[in-house]
């Protein structure tokens, strides 16, 4: 079986804007799954985002 996917890659600014526009609060952006602070040199971004309670 073969399944094709279309991936969309976003930069930090774009993804942050889209998350906030969707109602999320960004608590942190990490450079890996071990919570290393993102500094732009890592190959991935892990966003810690939550929906604020009202």
- pLDDT (tens digit per residue) in 9-27: 999 999 999 999 999 999 9
State the average pLDDT over residues 43-50. Answer: 96
Name the percent of the chain lying above pLDDT 70: 100
- Do 26 and 45 contact (CB within 8 A), yes or no? no
**Does residue 15 sit in helix, strand or coil?**
helix
Contact 43, 12 (CB under 8 A): no
Whole-angstrom distance, CA of residue 26 vs CA of residue 41:
20
Its pTM stands at 0.77
Ramachandran quadrant class, 16 (left: phi over 0; alpha: psi -120 to 50; beta: rest): alpha
């Amino acid at each position: 079986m073969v399944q094709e996917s279309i991936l969309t890659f976003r930069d930090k600014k774009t993804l942050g804007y889209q998350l906030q526009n969707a109602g999320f609060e960004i608590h942190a952006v990490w450079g890996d799954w071990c919570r290393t602070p993102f500094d732009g040199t890592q190959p991935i971004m892990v966003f810690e985002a939550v929906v604020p309670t009202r």
